[in-house]
Structure formats: structure tokens, C-alpha cells
Amino acid sequence: MNKKLVIGGIVLLLIIGGGAFLLLGGTEPKPGLGESGPDTIPTKWSQAGDYEIKDVVGQQTVVTNAKAGFSFKVPEGWSVKDENFGEEYSLNLLHPNAEFDNNNLLVSGCFINVETMYQPDEAIYVTAIIKDLENNPSISDNRAVIKLGERLALQTSIISSASSDNPEIMKKIRDIIQIAIPLNQEIVVNFQLTLKKNFTDQCVTILNRLSSEGSF
């Protein structure tokens, strides 16, 4: 099971034993098509060969996707692991305290999933929402336009207000903040933070720093 939770999927609020938690899900991707490149069938996501992960002694790890045209620094002390889900490939940046249960659900800390999408419909859709929010910010309670250098990005927040005395239910409650950056009319890069509430301040600060200091 992949760790990434898709913002564009179905959001269900379930009531169990007096508590509540959020489940998010998307449609299952098609079977993998391998690495993208001139000699392969193109995919809708950047693949492993598109990312360069450069470790420099005494400095932060730098991730570069030259094909899409961006780079960013991995937060200090965090680790990088890749993930395949059908043809969908992404990177997970893991907080030092990130822990997962047997079902790959986050139970401690936070992580940031990074994916690069070569999907014109998605790029046009995100750009349209950004323009609508610029004209009328009040049309959405959980979406906002943020500025990253010269670029505008869409931030979507799914914050749970659920609570329960049942620790097993509380383990399932996670908050999600996604920053979608349209690089052009064909490419969108997503940074999706999934976190436990007791790590909110620390992890949100890191997400904001990563996105604002990246080169897009």
C-alpha cells in the first residue's frame, strides 16, 4: 500500500465507536510503464531516472528534476525513499520520527510526498483554481493561493477536528497539507505533507521552508 493520500480522491468521514477519522483515497493507477525518456513509452509521472539526489558532506541533500525544471533541499536530518504505485512514481521525504504501522499508516511524525505530474488537464485545472481564488479568496475554506518566488501555487488543507478516547481511532487521524505548483501548462509538482497533530508546528514550518526556498 502506498503512503501517499490523494487530495483529489474521495473524502469519507467515518464514525466509529464515538470517534471519527478521515479516509482519503483515489483511483488505482494503471500498471507501470517503466522509466520515462526518449526510448521508452512516456508516463504521466516523472520516474526514478528523472530525479538526481545529490548528497554533499556537511550540506543538505539536494533533489533535482532537470526534465521538469525544479530542485529543492531535503530538510536536515530527513531521509529520502522512493515509491512506486503502478506507473505512478514519487519520493517520500521522511521526518526522523516518522513511523508507520503494518498497514503503512502514519502513526508518528510526518512525511512529505513529492510527485511530478505530466498531465495537461491537471495543470490547467490547478491554474484555473488559482485564478478563481485570486479573484475571490472566499470561495473556498480549505484552499489558498501562495506565492513561491515568481510562481503562484495552490495550497489545500485537510485538517481533522475529530477526537476520541479510543487510542486506536486516534492513531488513524492524520492531517494533510498539499502544495500544488503548476510549472507550465503541462507539468504540476505536488508536495503533500501528512502529519500527526503533535508535529503540526514543526512539520508545517519545514514544508513552507522547503517550498519557498526551492527553485521552480
Q: pLDDT value at position 116?
A: 98
Distances (CA, A) of 198 to 125, 157, 171, 175: 33, 16, 12, 11
First CA to last CA distance, the chain = 30
Every domain of the chain and the residues it spans: 10-27+74-213
Q: For residue 149, what is its C-alpha cell?
A: 518566488
Q: pLDDT value at position 42?
A: 53
Residues 6+ apart with CB under 8 A from 137: 144, 145
Handedness of CA 106, 181, 51, 122 (dihedral sign): positive
* 8-state DSSP, 13: E
Residue by residue, pLDDT tens for the chain (216 residues) are 455 544 433 333 333 333 333 433 333 232 222 333 333 445 799 999 999 999 877 789 999 999 999 999 999 999 999 999 888 999 999 999 999 999 889 999 999 999 999 999 999 999 999 999 999 999 999 999 999 999 999 999 999 887 778 877 777 789 999 999 999 999 999 999 999 999 999 999 999 999 999 999
What's the burial of 66, exposed, middle or buried (CB within 10 Å: 0-12/13-18/19+)?
exposed
In CATH, which of 3.40.1000, 3.30.70, 1.20.1280, 3.90.550 is domain 10-27+74-213? 3.40.1000
pTM equals 0.80
Instruction: Check: CB of residue 214 under 8 Å from CB of residue 190.
Output: no
What's the burial of 139, exposed, middle or buried (CB within 10 Å: 0-12/13-18/19+)?
exposed
Residue 130: phi, psi to the nearest 5?
-60, -45
CA dihedral 170, 109, 28, 34 (to 10 degrees): -170
Q: pLDDT value at position 2?
A: 56
Q: pLDDT value at position 171?
A: 73
